[in-house]
A and B are shown apart, each in its own frame.
Chain A
């Protein structure tokens, strides 16, 4: 019995999406095969990792990550420049967490100013994220989208409870948009349909099926991502073809395994490496399931996952 490569034929493909402007603009997606299977399709773009920064001091981040940014994290402009110039980031994701009613309740105007200041200080593409407060995001992201007009940013996240105003703002100011639903392929599909029904091109959407950390539901995110990719490729389901984002850092850096010291739990080993690896493995699993864009926090984890990506393409 001679061996022949068992190739799959796919009728669909993942949509390509460009964000940012000028020479540093990035493209993700566009593949017509399952993740990294070059023997049966084309994979024109590598996955991209964006460094997460935020508009207020990252006091809720564990020390392991906080100390990487001590010199710059009091100022999102300095922080973004540090990512671009020192860490050689491809992209930055600015989370406007300070607008959350429980986290300082900054106004939409303040948020818009932060967005403007950061944009004028960097050349790499910017992802603008709200605080994940449904009502507040509906106004904050509208102001942010306007402030970023012309920069071809990714804004998000539009959710079932607030997508209408956010979609309208992304449409008016020509941004790309993250649509987030909670760990359910049918909800992801439904939200993408609702958004495109407002006249928003599916070519400008990114699906966020909700990330989960290693050990805390990773398998759910993993399987939802795999199923979205299979639907996009095998069933040519157009609503499932936008690129996928994995918002890794915020889920990883609050679980016990990235917080508890080695002295407290000796059998878990050194905290520093454990945290870094927790983020790197969560991100790597997302890549193998189909994520095109990752949002991460620890420079060492990003460096490792970039090496994994180099080995995968």
Chain B
């Protein structure tokens, strides 16, 4: 459990030596409690205090990577139940489940789907993060050869070995141990054998039990046997169980400091109907899953799930921003209207969407205002006549359009006079206050 500033203070030397850069030990303790500084800044802290503080500052939900290298995905480490309280840190992993009973051709196709799943959205590169390989053939040499095939086709993509049979798992793990796969399938029945494989190969283990009482007993047992990097499966498959059990896991870990459930959670959502599967996956994505295993990854489905994950894991304190530039909407020509707005991603999305709805090709000048919306940016002095004029002149738009008319948001109508002075030769037109009035506005301007 996290310690308060005063509790931390009691463990410090209380010399007020200022070597840490703070005037008093108490001030330093307060910074430590807020997680804004590291204990190593105190040169005189005792070994005993280091141990106590180290334990207390360990994350309540175990943090480690799925896979290795550039495409490894960080899991766990969450600190809140509600994103508005701080933020969610490590976006859930989406994994495609593939059965080893498929033919080599079909397998290759599936792997290609994963490799081709990358989409850029608001400057982030999003993709299906992992492959879950299910041992369905009941043939351990087949499983091993499929593991090798997949590893060869997609060497960087993290792998979950979905296999409850220790002898098959042993062969498969050995084949790709350097990729640090997650071995999923430890249960009460096979715990010892699975733990041995995980320990020998230094890989994380996926632990399954029906319900949280059995699951927490099992994780304690496995931890006692020496494997600490665990991913937990409560057996939840229905949406209700996903919401209830994932909530209980997160609450137990964060609010009660209950270590046996302080691990990333995995949800298997395997349904025949891809729209329903994605909708249930959405429940898991907003409600605390660290890994979501899917049975299909159509492009339209990926786009929706990636977007949801991006939305939920956005830092509520830091606005999403888009790049400052002149965006072309439709295929504008030298006579097309020019509008300006700020680079808050939501502002950009809504304004560009409405301009596109108008079906009138236009230029949209998006100005860097540190991600603030129009009115806020104006109030903060970031969206001023001087700065707008400079941006327009430096943007090169004067070479692209013949006219000299700039449409500004109705919210900042007040800028029009000053802007006409600063932006010589330009006429300023005040647009609507709300973006949804843009189609009517643009049609009336170009009619």
Contact = CB atoms under 8 A, between A and B. Distances in A.
Interface of A: 1-3, 5-6, 8, 34-39, 102, 214-220, 222-223, 226-227, 230, 254-257, 259, 262, 266-271, 273-274, 276-278, 280-281, 284-285, 288-289, 300, 304-305, 307-308, 311-313
A111 B183 CA distance: 63
Given A307-B276, A311-B238, A37 B244 contact: yes
A215 B212 CA distance: 34
B239 A311 contact: yes
Contacts of A37: 243-244, 247
B279 interface: yes
Nearest to B121: A215
A58 B346 CA distance: 26
A257 B303 CA distance: 9
Contacts of B239: 36, 308, 311-312
19 contacts: A1-B220, A1-B258, A3-B212, A6-B256, A34-B247, A36-B239, A214-B311, A217-B346, A219-B316, A273-B301, A277-B279, A284-B282, A285-B282, A285-B286, A288-B243, A288-B287, A304-B273, A312-B243, A312-B283
Contact of A281 (B84, B121, B278, B353): B278
A304 B260 CA distance: 36
A4 to B, nearest CB: 8
Interface residues of B, number: 58
B400 interface: no
Contacts of A266: 299
A2 B287 CA distance: 24
Contact of B300 (A3, A35, A269): A269
Contact of B303 (A38, A269, A276, A308): A269
Given A37-B247, A277-B279, A216 B346 contact: yes
Contact of B301 (A39, A216, A255, A269): A269
Contacts of B261: 3
A288 B286 contact: yes
A269 B275 CA distance: 13
Given A36-B243, A304-B276, A308-B280, A222 B312 contact: yes
A80 B239 CA distance: 31
The 5 A-B pairs at the shortest CB distance, nearest first, are namely A269-B299, A269-B300, A274-B300, A311-B239, A215-B307
Contacts of B302: 269
B349 interface: yes
A136 to B, nearest CB: 14
Nearest to A35: B243
Contacts of A285: 282, 286, 308
A266 B422 CA distance: 44
A274 B243 CA distance: 25
Contacts of B243: 35-37, 288, 312
A274 B244 contact: no
A39 B300 contact: no
A36 B287 CA distance: 11
B192 to A, nearest CB: 21
Q: Which of B243, B279, B287, B301 counts the most A-chain CB atoms under 10 A from its CB?
A: B279
Nearest to A6: B251
A115 B290 CA distance: 48
B440 interface: yes
B216 interface: yes
A160 to B, nearest CB: 14
A251 to B, nearest CB: 10
Q: Which of B248, B255, B258 counts the most A-chain CB atoms under 10 A from its CB?
A: B248
B216 A281 contact: no
B22 interface: no
Contact of B278 (A5, A257, A277): A277
B248 A39 contact: yes
Contacts of A284: 279, 282-283
B259 interface: yes
Interface in B103-140: 119, 121
A308 B311 contact: no
Contacts of A215: 121, 307, 310-311, 349
Contacts of A1: 216, 220, 258-260
A308 B53 CA distance: 44
Contacts of B216: 1-3
Contact of B276 (A35, A218, A226, A308): A308
B422 to A, nearest CB: 32
A38 B248 CA distance: 12
A2 B240 CA distance: 24
B84 A223 contact: yes
B376 interface: no
A240 B83 CA distance: 20
A300 B273 CA distance: 12
B349 A280 contact: no
B223 to A, nearest CB: 11
Q: Which of A215, A216, A269, A305 counts the most B-chain CB atoms under 10 A from its CB?
A: A215
Nearest to A278: B304
Interface string B309-351: 0111010100000000000000000000000000000100110
Interface string B263-303: 00000000001111011101100110000000000111111
B213 interface: yes
B244 A277 contact: no
A308 B279 CA distance: 7
Given A39-B244, A288-B287, A277 B308 contact: no
B209 to A, nearest CB: 11
Contacts of A2: 213, 216
A6 B82 CA distance: 16
A259 to B, nearest CB: 8
Q: Which of B259, B274, B303 counts the most A-chain CB atoms under 10 A from its CB?
A: B303
A226 B303 contact: no
Given A1-B220, A36-B243, A277 B301 contact: yes
Contacts of B238: 311
Nearest to B82: A226
A258 to B, nearest CB: 10
A311 B304 contact: no
A226 B84 CA distance: 9
B252 interface: yes
Contacts of A269: 298-303
B301 A280 contact: no
